[in-house]
Amino acid sequence: MGGMTDETSYGHPGAVELQRALNFTEADLAENRAGRLSAAQNARMTKGQSQGRVMTLVVLGVFVVLIAVIVFVVLPPSLAPQPANSSAIPPWIIGLVIVVVLAIMAVSFLRTKRGLRGLTGTLLHVDGEANPKSRSYGDANQEGFDTIHRVKIGGVNFPVASDIQVRAFEKGRRYRAYYVKSTLPVILSAEPLDS
């Protein structure tokens, strides 16, 4: 029995809590207000890009090994003459599956690469009321739950990593959030707009 099992909204914030939760400084915020990433934020984004490239190379390596196994182990027996009543998969079907998987991987790779490139792109900001939420999903008969944390400011939904980041925002209070757009928007800093 799956589905939403818990939904919690939080709020008791201040500027200091936001800085701690989102890992930014006054200097970072000043650069963001000027429309730029700070040197520290740029370094974090670059580190994220490097980790993404390494993961892409690992996945690509595994895929190359998989293709090699198919080409050198699975296909040769399929290419041998088969009796008329054989239930072997025709080689053209195996080839078609490989082509489709390659196409899916290429599209995924290009989207990920474009998303990682966008991490150091234009710094954007949005103003609006905060709607912080954490939702737990899972089955009561299973050992754990998956919790999704997000903060919506204005019309932008920001996925955040932890409950601490969710609790740094007060529901209904107006904030300005500075972020970069990637596959998902990445919040870098935020500030309350009202006192």
pLDDT at 158: 94
pLDDT at 143: 63
pLDDT at 153: 95
pLDDT at 54: 74
pLDDT at 93: 80
- Residues 51, 30: one domain? no
State which of 101, 118, 135 marks the end of a domain. 118
- Residues 49, 78: one domain? yes
- Residue with structure tokens 């996925």? 159
Note if the pTM is more than 0.85: no
State which of 118, 142, 165 marks the end of a domain. 118
Cα–Cα distance between 65 and 3 in angstroms, integer?
A: 37
pLDDT at 51: 61
- Residues 16, 66: one domain? no
- Residues 127, 113: one domain? no
Name the residue range of residue 10's domain: 4-36+122-192
- Residues 15, 49: one domain? no
Per-residue pLDDT of the chain (195 residues; tens, 9 = 90+): 344 344 443 444 578 889 999 989 999 999 999 998 888 888 877 766 566 667 777 877 888 888 888 778 777 776 777 777 777 677 778 778 888 888 887 787 776 665 555 444 578 999 999 999 988 776 656 666 678 889 999 999 999 988 899 999 999 999 999 998 877 888 999 999 876
- Residues 60, 97: one domain? yes
Would residue 62 be called left, alpha or beta, if left means φ above 0 and alpha means ψ between -120 and 50 degrees? alpha
pLDDT at 4: 39
pLDDT at 52: 65
> Do 134 and 148 form a contact (C-beta atoms < 8 A)?
yes
- Residues 21, 83: one domain? no
How many domains is the chain built from? 2
Q: What are phi and psi of 78, to 5 degrees?
A: -70, -30
Cα–Cα distance between 14 and 94 in angstroms, integer?
A: 58
- Residues 185, 126: one domain? yes
